Every structure is written in C-alpha cells, then in structure tokens.
C-alpha cells in the first residue's frame, strides 16, 4: 500500500507543498503548486507534469529550489490550475520502473483527496523523458486524465510499453517537437507518428521550427507555445 508519508510547505514559497508516497519502503516525493486563487469551495482544474532528465538524475531533486522556476508553475498560476509535479530519478523513474508509472496514479488519487479538484478536468503530460512517458499513460485504459501533452518526447524510448492502437479513446494527445532538436532527432519522432497515425487517432503531432530540445525554456515564445497547449486541453 502506498500512502502519504509527510507533507510540508517549501520554505521559500508557500504556494508549493511537498508530499511523499511510500513505495517499497522508499519515500517518493512530489510537489503540488496551489495558485493564489485556490478555494476549497470551488473544484479546480489540475495539470500533472512529468519532468525530463530522469535517466540522468541520481537522486530526487525536491530540495533544488530552482524547480520553482519551471514554466509549468507560471502556467498554472496564469490558468488558475493546480500543478502536480512528481519527482523521479534514474532508479525510480518513468522509463524502466513500472512502480514509478503506477505511483503517478497513486499521487493523483491522493491530491484529489487533499485538494478541491475538478476530477473531470485533469490533464497529464511532461517534457523529454516525461513527455515520452505520456505516451504510455495515453495508451492505458484509465479515467484519471481527459487529455495529454508531450513536449520534446521520443516514443522510441518506451516503444515496448506503448500500444499505439489505444491512443484512440477520445482523449487528445498533443505532442510538440522542435525540428532542430539535438537530443531526439525530429525525423525519427515524425516517422513514428506517420507509422501509427492511422490507429493513434487522438495523437496530434505538432512542430516548432527552432528552440532545440528545451524550446519551452526559450523565453516568452516557448512559454506561450507551451501554455497554449495546456489551455487548449483544459478547455476541451
């Protein structure tokens, strides 16, 4: 059984709360960002964000206060949405460890208990490794998320886990890759899309001309592209 182990506010910003689940005696952290207009009387939309760099992260980085500068948190404030930010690492992340995938559902279930969430208005996605993991979640028969977003993702990384036939459940998946991505070659990702688009009817593949792998960090331009996708999925 996976349970909340502890929670506390991050000292530098009371809009962030730190929680833990317990998985096989390991404390697994996640952040929840609560926008200023949050009210426990009104159900609020929520966005799950799976960060990138999991395969290169040796330990959970919740003590890194630079996390608060992630674009998804400013988007959450702009759109008045709760942000659920699980943390992963090399030996417990959404690439090779099924327990890490399963734990995302545990986290979302717990946040729905702890906060006033509109259960019909939750979307899930991520960037790089997190974006790739999104394809797995989009191919599952689940009722947690109504839509998905994948930023700078490469489905090749999880190809054995993804059933592309099931990305056709009436829940839109928007993926965006930069044509000059130096980490995941655009042509490779595009080829996977072209190969599977006839069965993955909910997958909408988009591109930006430049900005490399981290285009969402490329000033206002990248942030606006990212925010427009989140806004579109929440509004559908």
**Domains and their CATH numbers in the chain:** 4-235 (3.40.50.1820)
What pLDDT is recorded for position 12? 43
Query: What integer pLDDT is reported at residue 124 of this predicted model?
Result: 98
d(CA 200, CA 218) in angstroms, rounded, equals 30
Q: What is the pLDDT of residue 57?
A: 87
Q: Could you list the beta-strand ranges (E) of 77-172.
A: 82-86, 117-127, 147-151
Of 35, 84, 26, 30, the residue nearest 61 (C-alpha): 30
Burial level of 58, CB count in 10 A (0-12/13-18/19+)?
A: exposed
| pLDDT recorded at residue 61 | 80
Q: Mean pLDDT for each 10-residue chunk of the chain (236 residues)?
A: 38 75 94 92 96 89 78 95 96 92 96 95 97 96 94 90 94 98 97 97 97 94 97 96
- Let me know: does 115 contact 141? Beta carbons within 8 Å: no
pLDDT of residue 96: 85
Query: 154, 10, 6: which is closest to 73 by C-alpha?
Result: 10
């Amino acid at each position: 059984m996976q349970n909340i182990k502890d929670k506390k506010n991050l000292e530098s910003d009371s809009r962030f709360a730190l929680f833990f689940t317990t998985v096989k005696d390991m404390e697994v952290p996640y952040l929840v960002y609560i926008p200023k207009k949050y009210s426990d009387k009104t159900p609020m939309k929520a966005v799950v964000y799976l960060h990138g760099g999991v395969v290169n992260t040796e330990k959970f980085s919740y003590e890194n206060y630079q996390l608060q500068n992630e674009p998804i948190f400013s988007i959450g404030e702009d759109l008045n949405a709760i942000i659920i930010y699980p943390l992963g690492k090399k030996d417990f992340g959404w690439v090779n460890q099924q327990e890490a995938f399963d734990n995302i559902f545990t986290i979302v279930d717990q946040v729905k208990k702890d906060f006033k969430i509109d259960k019909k208005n939750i979307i899930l996605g991520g960037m790089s490794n997190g974006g790739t993991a999104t394809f797995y979640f989009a191919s599952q028969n689940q009722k947690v998320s109504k839509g998905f977003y994948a930023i700078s993702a490469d489905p090749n990384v999880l190809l054995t886990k993804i059933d592309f036939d099931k990305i056709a459940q009436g829940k839109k998946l928007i993926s965006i890759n930069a044509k000059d991505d130096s980490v995941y070659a655009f042509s490779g990702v595009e080829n996977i899309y072209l190969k599977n688009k006839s069965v993955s009817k909910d997958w909408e593949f988009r591109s930006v001309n430049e900005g490399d792998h981290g285009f969402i960090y490329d000033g206002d331009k990248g942030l606006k592209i990212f925010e427009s996708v989140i806004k579109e999925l929440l509004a559908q």
